[in-house]
Amino acid sequence: MMSESPTMTLAQSMQETLRGLPAFVPILILAGTVLGVLLWDFFNSRANSRRVGWLAAVGVVAAGAVVIRFWCVPPAFGVRTGWGMLQADLFTWFFALLFLLGTLVVIGMTMADAEIADFRMGEYYALLLTATLAAITLVASTNLAVLYLAFETLSLPSYVLAGYRKTDRQAAEASLKYLLFGAMASGIMLYGLSILYGLTGTLDLQAIHTVAPENHGALLLVFVLLVAGFGFKMSLAPFHFWAPDVYQGAPTPITAYLSVVSKAAGFAAFARLVAALTEGGTFFRTASTSPITEFELASLFWILAVLTMLWGNFVALRQRDAKRLFAYSSIAHAGYMFMAFVAQNEAGAEALLFYFVVYAIANFAFFYGIQLVYRSRGTYELNGFRGLVYSSPVVAATLSVMLWSLIGLPPSAGFVGKWKLFYSVIEQAHTSPIPALYYSLVLIAVGTSVVALYYYVQIIRLMSFYEPEGPAPALRVSPLGKLALCVAAALILLIQLNWQPLSQSARAAIKASTNPSAFHSSQPAPQSLANSAVGAQNESRPLAQREATR
């Protein structure tokens, strides 16, 4: 009997793993595409670099189709899979679809970009797809070890991609700075995760919530270290110093990728961690049994949100380089998004997901505009946008819509996104014993939005009311590129007119992540059945009772 138990356990584990295998299909498709891209590049010449891009795009579209299928019809394999290390819920699919669409846009920008066309593209697309694969895994992670490995797997290709223009000194400098800051952030985060493991004795996020560590100082230190580590990915102040130089030196498609996909992965993974360390019934809500009070947690997040909004917006006023300006703009928007963590309610979580979609559309579209200006006029300076309405009116009009949305003014989807974020904070103020904390945050956010109005409108003025300095040829943009910009502008306007579908999708993702019982669990116990029952009962008991039993 003793010899049969391990065999039965292994058989059960393999059976359940195979049952949950469909959850890995998007990741497996991306992994297979990476292998195919590398093989194609190895056996073909550089003349076929565009075909490599098309191959990568086909893989991304295939993975996206599977994600859409999972979103429309939740599969029966359950919410937890991969030996309980991944959570395949609507929250995961929401961000996975955002990552895949963003990667598809970056592939399109790369194929139309002369910045990096002279280099072998097989490795480029392989690194890009590997980063996207890691971003999806990071969001789905419910195990601290897998989370850290996914974090590193996302970071390492990003360091290489940032400096992919090997002959460009500025790109090499950007890559080195990114690597150094990333290594420091990784070490800080790993230290925080190790302390968390020491406090709880488990790597599983759901088990961490049930354990509820009672050491106030240690748990607060864990929050600070995790914020510092993930703050690097989210480009929160004061962990943002890598962003301006990296955004300026990296190829424009990679800058767009870092500003959306990498940032979104950091926010989503941090949200899972915060949800695990706080009350599981309501997203981002501080647990009544937690030694950290609402005031302490909200104050920590308040400081970071305010510092990020102030730093990003005021320093952006001094920038004359478009990519550097949008680096600080991205930092400022990270501050607005972080308001959701201050709110600590479901309305804030929903607003975060809504805002990210709108931000992604506007950011990708404007970075494509920056790329078009550089390709036709040879500069990243803001003066390159002068008189754009006379030579390329369609591009100027669509970019103006993007800027209007980033400001957060009606009629645009950006207005709805900011309104949702502000409302979630005000809603929390109505039920909190410290309403001044939340009201002051909204006032500061409104004030910094007025500051952002200046540098965004400055670009609109340059495009619309200033003559070009010297010869300014029309932008060389393909019909497909014009169509993409028009679709982006239409989405920004349509979401403002009817935001309910996107809002309902965000709400469904939040509900799924906070109520895993809505799905059938597929996760087996990695023990015999008798030991499983005993272990489950023991894990469900409070920590104090377990210690007394021991």
Region 333-352: mean pLDDT is: 93
Reported as a pLDDT band with limits 50, 70 and 90, residue 172 is: confident
Full-model pTM: 0.87
Q: Are 246 and 162 in contact (CB under 8 A)?
A: yes
Average pLDDT over residues 499-526: 67
Which residue is listed with tokens 């009629």? 411
| 414's tokens | 């950006």
Close Cβ partners of 378 (under 8 Å, ≥ 6 residues apart) = 384
Residue 514 has pLDDT above 80, yes or no: no
Tell me how far apart the 2 most distant CA atoms of the chain are, in Å.
87
Average pLDDT, stretch 95-111? 94
pLDDT of residue 414: 93
**For residue 479, what are its two tokens?**
């019909």
User: What residue spans define the domains of the chain?
Assistant: 294-516
Measured distance CA(5)–CA(44) in Å, rounded: 52
Average pLDDT over residues 336-357: 93
Q: What is the pLDDT of residue 41?
A: 81
Q: Check residues 546 and 164 and name the one with the higher pLDDT.
A: 164
- Residue, of 40 and 487, whose pLDDT is higher: 487
pLDDT for position 356: 96
- pLDDT bin (cut points 50, 70, 90) of residue 202 is confident
Q: Quick one: which of 363, 372, 377 has its CA closest to 325?
A: 363
Most confident of 173-182, 354-363, 433-442: 354-363
% of the chain exceeding 90 in pLDDT: 54
Residue of higher predicted confidence among 505 and 287: 505
The rounded distance, in Å, linking the Cα atoms of 462 and 548 is 71
Q: What is the dihedral of CA 499, 505, 510, 513, to 10 degrees?
A: -170
Q: Nearest to residue 130, comparing CAs of 259, 257, 273? A: 257
- Is there a contact between 228 and 195 (Cβ–Cβ < 8 Å)? no
Predicted pLDDT of residue 451: 95
Q: CA-CA distance, 250 to 242, in Å (whole number)?
A: 12
- Paired strand residues for 279: 285
Q: Sign of dihedral through CA atoms 491, 497, 499, 500?
A: negative
87 strand-pairing partners: 80
- Of residues 85, 124, 131, the one with CA closest to residue 107: 124
What is the DSSP code (8-state) at residue 409? Answer: -
Backbone φ and ψ for 27, nearest 5 degrees, come out as -65, -40
Query: What sign has the CA pseudo-torsion 315, 319, 323, 324?
Result: negative
- Assess whether pLDDT exceeds 90 at residue 280: no
CA-wise closest residue to 52 among 159, 43, 482, 476: 43
Of 52 and 353, the structure prediction assigns the larger pLDDT to 353
- pLDDT per residue as tens digits for the range 462-475: 999 888 776 667 78
Burial of 5 (0-12, 13-18, 19+ CB in 10 A): middle
Helices 144-162 and 169-200 pack at an angle, to 10 degrees, of: 170
Residue 490 has pLDDT above 90, yes or no: yes
Q: How many CB atoms lie within 10 A of CB 466?
A: 15
At 48, is the pLDDT very low, low, confident or very high (cuts 50, 70, 90)? Answer: low
Does residue 112 surpass a pLDDT of 70? yes
Q: What's the pLDDT score for residue 199?
A: 84
pLDDT bucket at 296, cuts 50 / 70 / 90: confident
pLDDT at 65 over 80: yes
Q: In this predicted structure, what is the pLDDT of residue 516?
A: 44
Q: What is the DSSP secondary-structure string of 248-296?
A: HHS-HHHHHHIIIIIHHHHHHHHHHHHHHHSBSSSTTBPPTT-SS-HHH
pLDDT-based confidence at residue 83 (cuts at 50, 70, 90): low
pLDDT mean over 170-193: 91
